[in-house]
Chains A and B, each alone.
Chain A
Amino acid sequence: MAEELPGTNVAAEPAGGDACPAAGQPLLRIEGVAKTFGTFRAVDGVSLDIKAGEFFALLGPSGCGKTTLLRMLAGFEAPDEGRILLGGKDIAQALPHERPINMMFQNYALFPHLSVRDNIAFGLKRAGMPRADIATRVAEMVALVKLEGLEKRKPDQLSGGQRQRVALARALARRPQLLLLDEPLAALDKKLRENTQAELMELQRRLGMTFIIVTHDQEEAMTMADRIGVMKSGKLAQVASPRELYEAPRSRWIAEFVGDVNLFDGETKLRDGHRLVIGTRDAGTLVVAEPREAVGTGKLAVAIRPEKVKLSRRGPVSEAGRETAINSLDGVIADICYLGGTTTYKVKLDTGGTLQASVANSARLDVDAYGLNQHVVAWFTPDDCVVLQS
């Protein structure tokens, strides 16, 4: 079994079993990979390590190069520069059918002339698996994605959710070391998408497989992935866990791309222990926690997530002293956006700027709600702020 050809890893038990890299070594190492189409540099020097068993998401706006990167991993594009190491072996120039990697396509790419069973068995037949084993494996896969009873159907006789499952089963059937998912849930409606997200995560954990998913939906990436790589213009802008990405974005662009954010431009006025005092144009003077990575004294931006901003009618309802620990800004409610679970208020600050605050609707009745033009105090702690280089 150790002498298996690449691409015929069908019998490898379980995913990545025998080809599992030595401890500490990543399963997949992408080194300085670049791809140019004509004059357009779609992927521009990406380096990335992915550990075995990880659920990794490539997130970015359309045209950022995430799909091109995924297609290079699958073998549909060959990189112009760099190496792609799978278990220590460079596969950058290998053809798709020579790689122990499978892909779930964006529109599933189910073979319309084949039944569910034959779609799932397709890759197994190519690998020369004995008939009986194919039948067993297909049955196993059908059970895994809960498609029992639909084996004889053709893809056009299935619902969107069922097709998605067939595509998943087909890609998993060969037990690839790495599964690539290209916008796997984009074609599903919202409710179904949320359920499927949970199922995918559960499946990945159970099989202990390595998933790389490409998505433009940041909520989807946040929900499912262990780590997220945010791509912008062909480069990796930040690789981090969902929490880190949200709470400690490395740049202004990421802060704005991932979730909503209030941004205030300003300059450092004073350094006071672990606090920075920053003078902003639109929100007066703000006290913020000093970032882990030292920032220069030049122009900065202060980022505060809307749900970190608290509102009250009079002042901060907190035991901490108002002067040092808490930033407090006066303003009037300029706009109200009721979203069910939360309400987003736009506060027109007396200092000139606008601040968004997202408040949980913890009571059913609107006794706590604020009205238009009502005067409020918006406040947040220095730790709620992130300082970004402008």
Chain B
Amino acid sequence: MRKVSGLSRFNIASLAFGLAFLYLPILILVLYSFNASRLVTVWGGWSLRWYHEFFNDRAMIEAAWMSLRVAVASATIATLLGTLAAVALSRGERFRGRTLFSGMLYAPLVMPEVITGLSLLLLFVALNAERGFWTVTIAHTTLTMCFVAVVVQSRLGSLDRSLEEAAMDLGCDPVRAFVAVTLPLIAPAIVAGWMLAFTLSLDDLVIASFTTGPGSATLPIRIYSEVRLGVKPEINAICTLVIALIAVVIVIASLASKLSSSQGESAAPL
């Protein structure tokens, strides 16, 4: 007899479709980045020609370097602030302004980026701040710390509170209990949060467009302006490199979180 809760043919078909839909376009893109032909759609044999082209494109390289710096800086600040926010929300109980605080942290998660970008630009203009690396970094930090907060908060929420009580029972004051017990246990979530913040920053076009200044374009801004002009094989190569970079980050981070979760319990949700 067929088990009701087992996999049906329909289940398998929809899974196969879903994965093909998600992965085929990216695979095709990676494949074509190694195409020798200038015509994007004609296969002219394997070649690294477009990678050469990219590495000789100074403007692109500069944009990529800018993006990387922004991503590392904003992810690091966002992880710090987001973790603090998560701790306050999940361990702070009730405090004045809590509702406003959690509202401010949840809103950017779904807020259209055009609004976040526009509002930050208006702030920077009013402050007469020179737009460039720091304004983009601040903008990205504001957005990504909310994601970090959610990831870390859900881990903190699922943590057994009696572990902290046990630490206090064994002689820790609350702060030391947090450092000795809670922090190592939420480390995988913090790592995942950093990773998420890093890729979100690397990915962002809209907010960066608003908050950056002339002469300091990020990689997505450069790619976007190229793509608007039409498909260029060089873009395939850049995209492949970005995918590779993100893959490396994911692998390193998941190794790190596995390492710390072999000391901890289950791995953090990505």
Which A residues are closer than 8 A to B by beta carbons?
Answer: 7-8, 74-76, 95-97, 101-103, 105-107, 109-114, 122-123, 126-127, 154, 156, 170-171, 174
Contact = CB atoms under 8 A, between A and B. Distances in A.
A74 B171 CA distance: 12
Contacts of B263: 112-114, 154
Given A95-B173, A126-B176, A109 B168 contact: no
Contact of A97 (B160, B168, B260): B168
A217 to B, nearest CB: 20
14 contacts: A76-B165, A96-B168, A97-B173, A101-B169, A105-B162, A109-B160, A113-B185, A113-B264, A122-B167, A122-B170, A122-B180, A126-B170, A127-B171, A154-B263
A111 B171 contact: no
Contacts of A74: 165, 169
B165 A126 contact: no
A67 to B, nearest CB: 12
A168 to B, nearest CB: 13
A126 B171 contact: yes
A322 B260 CA distance: 77
A156 B262 CA distance: 10
Contact of A170 (B160, B170, B172): B170
Contacts of B184: 113
For A7, A95, A113, the residue with the greatest tally of chain B CB atoms inside 10 Å of its CB is: A113
Nearest to A7: B171
Contacts of A76: 165, 168
B116 to A, nearest CB: 37
B171 A123 contact: yes
Contact of B165 (A101, A105, A122, A170): A105
Contact of A102 (B163, B169, B172, B173): B169
B265 interface: yes
Contacts of B170: 97, 102, 122-123, 126, 170, 174
Contacts of A75: 168-169
Interface string B185-226: 100000000000000000000000000000000000000000
A106 B181 CA distance: 18
A156 B263 CA distance: 10
Contacts of A126: 170-172, 176
B109 interface: no
Given A112-B185, A154-B263, 5 more contacts: A8-B171, A105-B166, A111-B166, A113-B264, A123-B171
A112 B264 contact: yes
Q: What 10 pairs across the A-B complex have the smallest Cβ distances?
A: A126-B171, A123-B170, A109-B166, A109-B162, A96-B168, A113-B263, A113-B184, A112-B265, A113-B264, A97-B171
Contact of A103 (B169, B181, B264): B169
Contact of B171 (A105, A113, A114, A174): A174
B256 to A, nearest CB: 14
Contacts of A112: 163, 185, 263-265
B54 to A, nearest CB: 43
Given A154-B263, A156-B265, A109 B165 contact: yes
**Chain B: number of interface residues, binned into ranges:** 20 to 34
Interface string B149-172: 000000000001011011111111
Contacts of B171: 7-8, 97, 123, 126-127, 174
A348 B265 CA distance: 57
Nearest to B263: A113
Nearest to A123: B170
A377 to B, nearest CB: 55
A111 B172 contact: no
Given A123-B171, A126-B176, A127-B171, A96 B265 contact: no
A96 B169 contact: yes
Contacts of A110: 166
Nearest to B181: A111
B264 A97 contact: no
B224 to A, nearest CB: 44
Contacts of A107: 160, 162
Interface in B220-267: 260, 263-265
B172 A97 contact: yes
Interface in B103-161: 160
Nearest to B177: A97
B162 to A, nearest CB: 4
Contact of A106 (B162, B168, B180, B264): B162
Nearest to A114: B263
Nearest to A101: B169
Contacts of B173: 95, 97
A113 B260 CA distance: 8
Contacts of B162: 105-107, 109
A68 B169 CA distance: 15
Contacts of B176: 126
A69 to B, nearest CB: 16
Nearest to A121: B170
Contacts of B168: 75-76, 95-97
Contacts of B264: 112-113
A376 to B, nearest CB: 51
For A76, A111, A171, the residue with the greatest tally of chain B CB atoms inside 10 Å of its CB is: A111
A97 B177 CA distance: 10
B143 to A, nearest CB: 31
Contacts of A8: 171
Nearest to B183: A113
Nearest to A156: B265
